[in-house]
Amino acid sequence: MLRKGQGKPFDEFAWVILAAVGFVLLVTLLFSASGAKPILEPKTVDFNVARNSVHTFTITVNSEEGRGLSNVTLTESGQFSSWITFNKNNFNVKNSTTVGVTVKVPNSVSLGTYTGTITASTQGGSSSTKLSITVANESTIRLQSRPIFIGNFDIRNVKGTKTIFSQNDISLSKGLFTDTKGTFRVQLSENDLNTTTDGYIEILVNKSNQNGNLVVELNGVELYNKNTVAGKVIVPFDRSLVNTTNTLTIRSTGPSPLLFWQTSDYTISQANFVIKYIDIKESKGSFDLSDAELSNFHHLVLQGRITEFSSPLQDLFIRINNQIVFAERSPIAFFNQNLTKDILGNKILVGHNNTITFDFEKDAYLTLKDGFIVVYYS
C-alpha cells in the first residue's frame, strides 16, 4: 500500500528521462546539420567578358542526402578572387539554396584567361565549382540576341483644320407661300470627334435681296441670325455642340409684314463645316527580359517599317523606362537603331518589365509598323 507522497520520486525520474532523450535528439539534429557535406552545382562555369564590365550567374548549394546544412561559407580563390561577390554568405540550407555571383572585371586587367574556384564549406566537408573567365576585347565577344515583337505605333502631334462637310449651290427662300431651306447631315468619325477643339461654318453668299436674315443652326442651336450681304460669313461653334452625327440647318427669315407679298432670298455658292483639332498621341509598348538577358545585358536595337510620316519630320523622342535614348529625326523607310546609351551618355537602365514610348514635341506624325526590340546579351 502506497504511502502519501510516494508518487513524487517517480515523477521526478520521468522528467529526467524525458530531458535526457530531448537532449540526445537535439545533439543528433545539430550534428546531422553540421556534419552534412554541401554539394555545389554546376561543377564548371566559363564565359567571355570585356574589361570594365559586369557578369552575373548563379550557383546552387544542395544538402547531401537531403540533410540540412548549417553555416555554409562561400569563398573564392584564384587569379580573380577580388572580382567576385556573393549576394549571400554564411547561411543555412534546408534542401537547396541559389546564390547570385557577380563578377566585376577591372578596366586595367590584361586580356587573357583567368582561372580559380568557388568553394562551399561546412563542418561536414566542402564542394567546389571551377571557374574560367576569358577577358577579351568587346568587339570579339560573341553576343546572343532575341527579337521581341512590340507592335505597331501611330505617333502624332498634329494641329490644324479639317473640312468635314461641304455643300455647293444652296438656294434659300422664305415668304408667305414658300419656305426653302438647307438641312444637312454632318458625320464625324470617333477620332475627329475626340481631337476636335472647336470649329466654324464657312458660308459663301453669292446673292442676297436683304429682305430677311440669314440663319444658321447646329443641332437645333441658333448660331447666326443677321441680315447678310454677299460675301464670306464665318460662324464659329463650340466643341460642346458637336456629336458624331450632326444636323446643320441654313435658312432665311421672312420679310417684314409690310412686305408680305415678297420673299427673302439667298443664293449660297458653298457652305463648309470645318473643325479645328489637336491630335497628340503618345504611343507606348512594353517588353520583358529574362534573368539571363538582364544579368548580362549589352544593348538594344529598335527595328520597324515606317509607312507614313509628315514632311518635314521633327525630332522623334524615344524613351526606355522614361530614359530618353533617341531624340532626332527618324529615318523615312526602315528603323534599325542601336540603343546603347541615353542622350546624356548614361547606360540604359532596364529591368524584367520595361516600357518604350514614342512622341513628338512639335507638329509631326509617323507610323511605325512591325516594331521589334532586339535584346543583345553576353
At residue 66 the predicted structure's pLDDT band, cuts being 50, 70 and 90, is: low
Where are the domains positioned within the chain?
38-140, 158-279, 282-377
- Do strands 44-50 and 91-93 pair parallel, antiparallel, or not at all (unpaired)? unpaired
- Give the separation between CA 165 and CA 185, rounded to whole angstroms: 9
Q: Kindly report the CA angle at 302 between 300 and 304, in degrees rounded to 5?
A: 160
Q: In 3D, which of 198, 278, 272, 202 has the Cα closest to residue 242? A: 198
At residue 274 the predicted structure's pLDDT band, cuts being 50, 70 and 90, is: very high
Q: Are 305 and 372 in contact, with CB atoms under 8 Å apart?
A: no
At 136-178, the pLDDT tens digits run: 887 677 788 899 999 999 998 888 899 999 999 999 999 888 9
At 325-335, the pLDDT tens digits run: 999 988 888 88
Name the CATH superfamily for 38-140: Immunoglobulins (2.60.40.10)
CATH number of 158-279: 2.60.120.1200
pLDDT, residue 181, reads: 93
Strand partners, 69: 93
| Centroid of chain to Cα 287 | 7
Most confident region among 108-112, 121-125, 153-157, 232-236 by mean pLDDT: 232-236
pTM above 0.75, yes or no: no
- Give the separation between CA 118 and CA 113, rounded to whole angstroms: 16
List, in order, residues 6 or more apart from 200 with CB less than 8 Å away: 234, 235, 236, 237, 274, 276
